Amino acid sequence: MYFEYEKRRPFSALLGKTLTDVVVSDNKDMITFKTADEEFVMLHDQNCCEHVSIDDVAGEWSDVIGSPIVMAEEVSSEDRQSWQEGPEHDYDESFTWTFYKLGTVKGGVTVRWYGSSNGYYSESVDFYQSK
């Protein structure tokens, strides 16, 4: 799936919005966030020599649906000088852990993405407004 660069948004674009639904793709490479009148998509446009996917979801999506988002934060292993998490596999030449934290007054969800590559390709996750 391809999205235009101009439709790229920071994850914090969800702040103040009320989600009506969240859909995680079966192969764990895309999340769709729906509001009453907008839709956002989180994904990685895969190339050769790289793999980026959802490693874990902590929390219940029902905690972030139906109440305004008060926290929408992205934290990446690239943002820290000493990182606790190592590579998922010994053969990963380059890797990036990225955590996306969503919170409402009801609770929160943290999505952990893992990207690996030969070091020449992106391991980041993109966030787009799709409508």
Residue type, 75: V
Q: Domain span at residue 92?
A: 7-129
- 1 domain residue, yes or no: no
CB atoms within 10 A of CB 9: 13
- Per-residue confidence (pLDDT) for residue 86, from 0 to 100: 57
* Claim: this prediction has a pTM higher than 0.85: no
In a domain, 45, yes or no: yes
**39 — pLDDT class (breaks 50, 70, 90):** very high
What is the number of domains present in the chain?
A: 1
Compute the 3-state secondary structure of the chain and give helix, strand, coil in percent, each to the nearest 5. Answer: 10, 45, 45
pLDDT digits (tens, 9 = 90+) for 73-121: 999 865 444 445 555 555 556 778 889 999 999 999 999 998 887 766 6
Q: Is residue 52 part of a domain?
A: yes
pLDDT digits over 40-78, tens only?
999 977 677 777 789 999 999 999 999 999 999 999 865
Residues 66, 78: Cα–Cα separation, whole Å = 32
Report yes or no on 114 lying in a domain.
yes
2 within some domain: no
